[in-house]
Structure 1
Amino acid sequence: MRFRAGHDPFRVSGSDHPQRIRRSTLPDDFSEAGPAGAGYLGASLPLGRIHAWIVIFTTVIAVFAVRAAYLQVIEGQRYRQLADGNRIRILTIPAQRGMLADRFGQPLVSHTPNLRVQVVPVDLPKAGAGRELLVVELAQLTGAMPEDMRQTLAGLDELSYEPVVIRENLSHDQAIALALLSSRTPAVKLDVASRRQYLNEKIQSLSHVLGYLGKIGPGETTEARARGYELSDSLGKAGLEQALEDALRGRKGREQIEVDARGQRKEVINYEPPTAGTDIVLTIDAGAQQVLEDALRRALAVHPPGQGVGIALDPRNGEILALVSLPTFDNNWFARGILPSEFSSLADDPQRPLFNRAIQGAYPPGSTIKPVIAAAALQENVVTERTTVYSSGGIRVNQWFFPDWKAGGHGATNMTSALAESVNTYFYYVGGGYDSFNGLGVTRLHQYLTGAGFGKPLNVELWGEASGLVPTPAWKEQVIGQPWYIGDTYHLSIGQGDLLATPIQVAAATAMIANGGTLYRPHLVRERKPAGAPLGSRQQPVALASNIFLPEHLAVVRRGLRQAVKTGSARALNMASLPVAGKTGTAQWSSTRPNHAWFTGYAPADDPQIVVTILVEEGGEGSATAVPVANEFLSWWSVERQ
């Protein structure tokens, strides 16, 4: 084909516009556009299809916008923290836990170095050969099984910057090897913390008093975090460590540091020092605690099952000088991390060494309750000091017989001789009445027993204190489904039947008799001192009740208790160097097992400065078993402490 000179072969003939094409030369599915119906090249799309594309495009934009908003607004803080975490990290600095000392300042705890290895979850290899290699290496260096280490690491929050302790109490060799691993692996940190060491190897009964620290359990995580703990922290689990946790723990410090790409420290940006916990001076006399524990151990060695309690307290203010519960345990087992076999040996022991019998055990108090009954009878004018009751060996009510402990009885008995010889018949009369003699009755017995601290916790600082039980007709009807009989009142009057008391309640009631009528709250904390301070705040005695009994009525009771030591059931305590007053008790609790043996008393009889309460479970007669323990302890006290 030939083209004319000057002719543009790409221009359509007959058109003044090079890009226009005549309509007749295009297929029918093209349409005109432009001014005056001029034909433009363009595809004709259905209106519905256009709308569909607009909806799709708008939806995609909206999804991206919502996602962007979510990441910036909702998750923005989290990702900012993650970004900052790559460069800036906040470390907590443990606070020194407060010390515990006895009343003379003798330390009862110390702190020893605790080498431990931590991992930073966010720095751990996420998967693959690198993570498995680290698992195996950590297991080898810490003495753990690889599967256990694998499960430990798998349970961590992989986005967390909080170091997690995976093993502690490392040996020196283990620490060196782990330090080398830490130098090349940012996820592993070697840490030196302090571990509580209890200095009561020779006075293991202090384990019940001091308690121990333990790790935060799975069920405690939420509450612990709310209180500012980290998962690797320890906190009080028993004894005073638990009861005084808030005072002892102190306040952690904080350190803000910049790290490099390997997670290694570059510089400190900010530092907030920790505040040490409060030091606590106890009312406990460590020397008295040891002597009482040793004396009680010797008694229990010949009286199976070998379970008992010894308490010494100051009747002038309620300060507990010694609190012994046997058998006991070694709280350092828990401090270093108790082994499963060790815990099983404690938990499965039928003697229940973890059970603090001094405050948690509830027993029939037997005749140790009689001083309170005697004071109540004087207070209510049921008897006077000279009122005489004839004891012929017991009393009979219809077909029931309520015996004295002495066959044939004690003859004519007044209050002094009734307390000295522990005459049941006398207390049947004053408690429940007989024939024309009107006794206190169950309502007034309940009133005075609860007023003297029985049937309710005394709020000793230790957790788990039992209430004991002072039964009533309503209680018996509701719990046992039986009516109250006169025999129930008689049993209540001599400390038997359903009446239950803790040893600390018996000691507190004895102190009330000794000091002239004030029931003090028994307590273990003498002073609180800020760490390193020479002086602190002294614990003031708390009076739970006073003026329940007139002083002259208590003076009558005290004469009876003094007579019990001079000529009565506790005469083995009649020492020349120290005048003692007290009451023995022999409490029936089983028809097939031996009775519990009790003694409770105070010294000096004319100026009470110490109360001693002894319980030997299944020890038989209080005069034969409990009194010798009190005698050994008071003999020491008269020389070393009076």
Structure 2
Amino acid sequence: MELVRFADRRKYRNEERSPDEVMLTRRMFVIKGLVVTGFGALAGKLWQMQMVDSADHQTRAAGNIVDDEPIPAPRGLIFDRADEVLAENRVTWQVKLIPAQLPSDEEEFEYVRDQVIQTLGLLDMLAIRRHSVPNEVNSDLAIRISEETGLAMEDIEERIEMSREVDNVIPILTELDPPDADRLAESVRSIPGVTVMNQFDYIVESDPVAATPIVLRQDIDRATALALESNKLYLPGISVDGETLTRRYLGGPEFGHILGYVGPITQEEMDAADTLTGQNPYLPNDLVGRGGIEQSMETHLRGRRGVRFVHTDARGITLNELEDRRIDPRAGQNIHMTIDGRFQRAVTRALEEGIRAANEATEDDDDALEVGSGVVVAMDPRNGEVLAMVSLPNYDNQKFVGGISQSDYDEMVDNPFNPLINKAISESYPPGSTIKPMMSCIGLEEEVIDTGTQYRCAGMIDVPTVGYESEHNSYVCWFREGHGLLNVEEAIAESCNIFFYNVGAPHQRPAGADEALHYFIPGDTTPYY
């Protein structure tokens, strides 16, 4: 075997290579170069992504998460005794604002703001920036605001004090027409902390980092909703909900007091619900009952909300729902009242006619007071069911759904006959002759009288002052000529005052008196006990 040095062996081999082999070696060199270059570029890109652009990618990745969305429960329906629907739900469009998702770039923020204000027609409002108002100038501040707005100074002071610890911005007037907004913007310029701002700005300033959607406008039309939804990519922080359930009252103002209405839940109500149940059934944007059946039956009507889980991308757009994790809501219970809807309307018309006739009867009397209110309650005496309950003036509860306008609210509050108060249950009045049947039943049960007991009515009685027989007070019957002798049935039929004076105080001896309570009939010296 011939031994050849290693260097000579390489030389020998190179001398023996064919042209094809030499070309193949060059190709491999080029390929290897390309591979090395590719891996170098990939490594550079990875370095850029991980070191230079890591913060941006982390932000984008944070958006690709599974998010939970509450599903509101349908509120229970309200029926009258004949199953007429008086309160129901309808599906509407709703626009919400999420301050934490608004763009941080000033130019982009202004674009979103202007587009939303213009599309939804959001009005300006008068507000106070809390941190710009020193504590010691509250009274002076309230006086100046009162002079410019016409609002009561006490109301303004109370609103400032109630909001001082919890609100960054304190609303004073929530809806201003453009002319009023321009006038107030100029006149309050010199008042510290007081400003005219748009409703959009008020929500943002109140909680700039809020991640919970805040309702901007309810019950918008379909065209507006689709216009906003189709431009969602260019409107970060704005969401459109097409599954919102809005309360609709079909009965009209005749049922305003009976049904009440729904309105946004307050923080105090949220806290109270959390304390009572241990697991809060409400969210900040929920509606709760205000007055009437809506409030008294709130726990039955509200139902239980559900939840769905969705994949969203970095722009907040929903990609898909995880249907296997969905929890459907449970609808609220329906309420069936004893009220007869047709009868309620008929009683309302009758009372309105009675008020009109009362005013017409005294229209020539300059000293007569205007009759502007009245109450009728109709019950079934067999079981106590309330068939009709009318309080006038009434109000349209539908105006409160979605937020009542400032002008409508002021009109109700300024009405001297208080349409917001259900006078059938929320006011105190002398019972008048309605107490007489009750006195009859008590008198018969306690054997103070029997069906044959009679008292004489001469139209008036004189009751001596205790201890001073010569002095007396006179009490009259509505029928000044007197009813004569009456038993209990006749007294109820005639509504005789004198008879029931006797039933109410038979042989009673007042403290310090020498003899039992008694009275005299004018022209008769005989004392009656």
TM-score (norm 2): 0.63
Verify: 1:419 aligned to 2:492, yes or no. Answer: yes
Partner residue of 1:169? 219
C-alpha displacement of 1:386: 2.0
Partner residue of 1:477? none
From 221, 224, 232, the counterpart of 2:285: 232
Q: One-letter code of the match for 2:422?
A: N
| CA–CA separation in structure 1 for the residues paired with 2:214 and 2:474 | 69
Taking the TM superposition and a 5 Å limit, the aligned residue runs for 1:608-627 are: none
| CA–CA separation in structure 2 for the residues paired with 1:221 and 1:415 | 55
Partner residue of 1:389? 455
Q: One-letter code of the match for 2:259?
A: L
| CA–CA separation in structure 2 for the residues paired with 1:283 and 1:230 | 32
Would you say the 8 A contact 1:124–1:158 is kept in 2? Answer: no
Verify: 1:243 aligned to 2:296, yes or no. Answer: yes
| CA–CA separation in structure 1 for the residues paired with 2:231 and 2:516 | 76
Query: Could you say what secondary structure the match of 1:91 adopts?
Result: strand
Partner residue of 1:117? 95
Partner residue of 1:183? 233
From 314, 321, 329, the counterpart of 2:395: 329
Taking the TM superposition and a 5 Å limit, the aligned residue runs for 1:101-112 are: 101-112=79-90
Would you say the 8 A contact 1:216–1:224 is kept in 2? Answer: no
Partner residue of 1:278? 333
Q: How many residues align?
A: 363
The higher-RCO structure (CA 8 Å, 6+ apart) is 2
Verify: 1:194 aligned to 2:249, yes or no. Answer: no
Partner residue of 1:151? 202
Would you say the 8 A contact 2:103–2:236 is kept in 1? Answer: no
Partner residue of 1:264? 317
From 347, 368, 375, the counterpart of 1:309: 375
Change (3 A) 1:382 1:220: closer
Q: One-letter code of the match for 2:98?
A: V
From 505, 511, 523, the counterpart of 1:432: 505
Q: One-letter code of the match for 2:271?
A: T
Would you say the 8 A contact 1:431–1:489 is kept in 2? Answer: no
Q: One-letter code of the match for 2:392?
A: L
Verify: 1:129 aligned to 2:107, yes or no. Answer: yes
Q: Percent identity?
A: 34
Would you say the 8 A contact 1:250–1:276 is kept in 2? Answer: yes
| CA–CA separation in structure 2 for the residues paired with 1:274 and 1:208 | 29
Deviations 1:563-602 (A, max 9, x none): xxxxxxxxxxxxxxxxxxxxxxxxxxxxxxxxxxxxxxxx
| CA–CA separation in structure 1 for the residues paired with 2:270 and 2:91 | 26
Would you say the 8 A contact 1:119–1:166 is kept in 2? Answer: yes
C-alpha displacement of 1:224: 5.7
Change (3 A) 1:385 1:318: closer
Query: Could you say what secondary structure the match of 1:240 adopts?
Result: helix
Partner residue of 1:57? none
Change (3 A) 1:328 1:255: same
| CA–CA separation in structure 1 for the residues paired with 2:308 and 2:262 | 26
Would you say the 8 A contact 2:63–2:316 is kept in 1? Answer: no
Could you list the runs of 5+ residues in structure 1 that have no partner in the other structure? 1-79, 443-472, 474-482, 491-642
C-alpha displacement of 1:321: 1.4
| CA–CA separation in structure 1 for the residues paired with 2:63 and 2:329 | 22
Would you say the 8 A contact 1:88–1:258 is kept in 2? Answer: yes
Query: Could you say what secondary structure the match of 2:103 adopts?
Result: coil
C-alpha displacement of 1:84: 6.3
Verify: 1:209 aligned to 2:258, yes or no. Answer: yes
Would you say the 8 A contact 1:211–1:242 is kept in 2? Answer: yes
| CA–CA separation in structure 2 for the residues paired with 1:207 and 1:131 | 42
| CA–CA separation in structure 2 for the residues paired with 1:408 and 1:186 | 82
From 65, 71, 74, the counterpart of 1:96: 74
C-alpha displacement of 1:312: 2.0
Would you say the 8 A contact 1:89–1:257 is kept in 2? Answer: yes
Q: One-letter code of the match for 2:456?
A: Y
| CA–CA separation in structure 2 for the residues paired with 1:489 and 1:169 | 69
C-alpha displacement of 1:118: 1.4
Query: Could you say what secondary structure the match of 1:328 adopts?
Result: coil
C-alpha displacement of 1:186: 3.9
Would you say the 8 A contact 1:103–1:282 is kept in 2? Answer: yes
| CA–CA separation in structure 1 for the residues paired with 2:516 and 2:103 | 76
| CA–CA separation in structure 2 for the residues paired with 1:287 and 1:145 | 40
Partner residue of 1:375? 441
Query: Could you say what secondary structure the match of 1:399 adopts?
Result: strand
Could you list the runs of 5+ residues in structure 2 that have no partner in the other structure? 1-57, 125-196, 360-370, 465-470, 520-529
Q: One-letter code of the match for 1:154?
A: E
Would you say the 8 A contact 1:186–1:264 is kept in 2? Answer: no
Query: Could you say what secondary structure the match of 1:272 adopts?
Result: coil
| CA–CA separation in structure 1 for the residues paired with 2:418 and 2:352 | 16
Q: One-letter code of the match for 1:256?
A: F
Would you say the 8 A contact 2:95–2:241 is kept in 1? Answer: yes
Deviations 1:168-189 (A, max 9, x none): 2223332232113313334221
| CA–CA separation in structure 1 for the residues paired with 2:402 and 2:209 | 28
Query: Could you say what secondary structure the match of 1:288 adopts?
Result: helix
Deviations 1:465-513 (A, max 9, x none): xxxxxxxx9xxxxxxxxx99x99999xxxxxxxxxxxxxxxxxxxxxxx
Change (3 A) 1:240 1:373: same
Partner residue of 1:363? 429
C-alpha displacement of 1:292: 1.3
Change (3 A) 1:184 1:127: closer
Partner residue of 2:271? 222
Q: One-letter code of the match for 2:218?
A: E
Change (3 A) 1:392 1:238: closer
C-alpha displacement of 1:391: 2.5
Would you say the 8 A contact 2:260–2:294 is kept in 1? Answer: yes
Change (3 A) 1:408 1:99: closer
Query: Could you say what secondary structure the match of 1:116 adopts?
Result: strand
Verify: 1:410 aligned to 2:489, yes or no. Answer: no
Single out whichever of 320-329 and 85-94 deviates more from structure 2.
85-94
Query: Could you say what secondary structure the match of 1:315 adopts?
Result: coil
| CA–CA separation in structure 2 for the residues paired with 1:297 and 1:488 | 44
Change (3 A) 1:268 1:301: same
C-alpha displacement of 1:218: 5.2
Q: One-letter code of the match for 1:283?
A: T
| CA–CA separation in structure 1 for the residues paired with 2:210 and 2:350 | 58
C-alpha displacement of 1:85: 6.4
Q: One-letter code of the match for 1:184?
A: Y
Query: Could you say what secondary structure the match of 1:303 adopts?
Result: helix
C-alpha displacement of 1:315: 2.4
Would you say the 8 A contact 1:259–1:265 is kept in 2? Answer: yes
| CA–CA separation in structure 1 for the residues paired with 2:440 and 2:230 | 75
Change (3 A) 1:429 1:221: closer
Please give the root-mean-square deviation of Cα atoms over the aligned residues, in Å: 3.0
Which has more helix, going by share of residues?
Answer: 2
Change (3 A) 1:84 1:314: farther
Deviations 1:291-346 (A, max 9, x none): 11111111111224131122222223222111111110111111242100001101
| CA–CA separation in structure 1 for the residues paired with 2:328 and 2:403 | 28
Would you say the 8 A contact 1:181–1:188 is kept in 2? Answer: no
| CA–CA separation in structure 1 for the residues paired with 2:518 and 2:111 | 75
